[in-house]
């Protein structure tokens, strides 16, 4: 997917946990990529993802990982979401992923991927993590992400839709032909 001149390496072990304290997904992705870019003196890529529920005015959004509290587990967050939406007729939601590409000089670029769907009435499926067992993508066949194989989920997911844009972004940044 990426041009052959791009080498992806894991986050250096010397870079510990990075505080994701921005009020937006874009801000958190930039914070993470910038921290790594400054450490490595190279371009860095990072992402942040949130579940945005229409009737909750976009919540949990940037707070998706701690919707049920600061030390909440994925199961706690799903239970809280289902509790809050109990009886709701509008269960429309979307996953949104922001991928930030940041240079050591502070140049910032980002792309966004979205996946529209609805929140199920109860958990279904065992695959995945986070809110996968309660999210039914509109582009799917009525199954939750957790009922899909990894390949099926990747074909319609927000993260996949963001990452597929990265090669074109790199080509624009570096003035190269699009892949």
Work out the pLDDT band at 126, boundaries 50, 70, 90.
Answer: very high
The fold of 25-174 is Maf protein (3.90.950)
Kindly list the domain boundaries of the chain, sorted by start residue.
25-174
What percent of the chain clears pLDDT 90, i.e. is strictly above it?
83
Tell me the pLDDT tens digit for each residue of 20-78: 999 999 999 999 999 999 999 999 999 999 999 999 999 999 999 999 999 999 999 99
Q: What is the 3-state secondary structure (H, E, C) of 2-53?
A: CCCCCCCCCCCCCCCCCCCCCCCHHHHHHHHHHHHHHHHCCCEEEEEEEEEE
- Does the pLDDT of residue 7 top 90, yes or no? no
139 catalytic per annotation: no
Active-site residue among 48, 126, 139, 168? 48
């Amino acid at each position: 997917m990426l041009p052959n001149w791009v080498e992806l390496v894991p986050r250096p072990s010397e870079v510990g946990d990075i505080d994701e304290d921005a009020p937006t997904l874009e801000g958190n992705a930039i914070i993470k990529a910038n921290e790594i870019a400054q450490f490595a003196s190279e371009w860095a890529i990072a992402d942040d993802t949130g579940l945005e529920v229409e009737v909750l005015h976009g919540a949990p959004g940037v707070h998706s990982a701690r919707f049920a509290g600061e030390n909440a587990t994925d199961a706690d967050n799903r239970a809280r979401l289902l509790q809050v939406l109990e009886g709701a007729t509008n269960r429309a939601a979307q996953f949104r992923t922001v991928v930030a590409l940041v240079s050591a000089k502070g140049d910032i670029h980002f792309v966004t991927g979205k996946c529209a769907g609805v929140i199920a009435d109860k958990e279904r499926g065992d695959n995945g993590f986070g809110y996968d067992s309660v999210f039914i993508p509109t582009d799917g066949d009525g199954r939750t992400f957790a009922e899909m194989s990894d390949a099926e989920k990747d074909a319609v997911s927000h993260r996949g839709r963001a990452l597929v844009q990265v090669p074109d972004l790199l080509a624009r940044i570096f003035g190269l032909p699009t892949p």
